Amino acid sequence: MKPMKKWSKTVAALLLTAGLAACGNQSGAEPTPGTNQANAPTELTVALDWYPNAVHSFLYAAEEQGYFQAENLKVNLQMPSDSNDPLKMVAAGKVDLAISYQTQVVQARSEGIPVVSVGALVRHPLNVIMTRQDSGIDTPQKLAGKNVGYPSVPLDESIVRNVVKHAGGDDSGISFTDIGFDIVPALTGKKVDAVVGGYKNHEQLILEKNGIPVNAFAPTDFGVPDYYELVMTTSDDTLGKK
């Protein structure tokens, strides 16, 4: 467990000393369990971007191993009903922090929504377009005329279209079905021809573990610029207050 403890301590320190809370150990010294226990703990509510999975493990490790307690924090984690909710919740002040996607933060700012990224959690894309290997759709061009499932994120449609066009295919006949969080069941049950929004370190592994080999197309291999997959966000108002 030593590597996990070291890793969770590093990431927890990134979150807790980068201005996300005003009550922690800001000197860079090693946190000591029981620090600041004379004061009531500061509560922080964090909205996850998805149901709990590997990318959230540092939060649960920090909770279990006492790093939040050492910083005199009480951290409440919330799972959203869909992947568009976290930014709405943090903008409205319903949560202090929300895990979201760099692409959505940029889009939100362009629409005047007062949210800001305060830290990168995953600095390269995990999102891939997946098809079943038994479908015969082994290149992006073959997505032409197919039905693609996506998890309520409209930008994923643009990603698929750009990938197909960059690969030399025709995107005009592609249809899209909003499948929410049901990426694995949608592909397992052949409800759609392909899915986008699944992560190569989560949904792809689950599918292959369940005996569904997949073809995975990384958008950055087909003209989509590199970007931060996950960022920690807050509202302009909360950033100023905390």
Domain check: are 217 and 234 in the same one? no
The total of structural domains in the chain comes to: 2
pLDDT tens per residue across span 175-218: 999 999 899 999 999 999 999 999 999 999 999 999 999 999 99
* Phi-psi domain of 72 (left: phi exceeds 0; alpha: psi -120 through 50; beta: other): left
Q: Within this chain, do residues 111 and 8 fall inside the same structural domain, yes or no?
A: yes
Tokens linked to 201: 């370190």
Let me know whether 119 and 232 are in one domain. yes
Are residues 113 and 30 both part of a single domain? yes
Q: Is 1 exposed, middle or buried (0-12, 13-18, 19+ CB in 10 A)?
A: exposed
Counts of helices then strands in the chain (DSSP H, E): 9, 10
Confirm if 32 and 81 have CB atoms less than 8 A apart.
no
The residue segments making up the domain with residue 176 are: 127-222
- Count CB atoms within 10 A of the CB of residue 213: 10
Model pLDDT for residues 126-144, shown as the tens digit of each residue: 999 999 999 999 999 999 9
Q: Are residues 10 and 114 in the same domain?
A: yes
Give the model's pLDDT for residue 33: 54
Same domain, yes or no, for 103 and 26?
A: yes
pTM: 0.76
The answer on 177 and 141 residing in a single domain is yes
Q: Per residue in 65-109, pLDDT tens?
A: 999 999 999 999 999 988 889 999 999 999 999 999 999 999 999
Local structure of residue 116 (DSSP, 8 states): E
| The pLDDT of residue 152 | 86
Same domain assignment for residues 131 and 56: no
| Residues 216 and 203 both lie in one domain | yes
* Domain co-membership, 101 together with 167: no
CATH number at residue 103: 3.40.190.10
Residues 131 and 117 in one domain: no
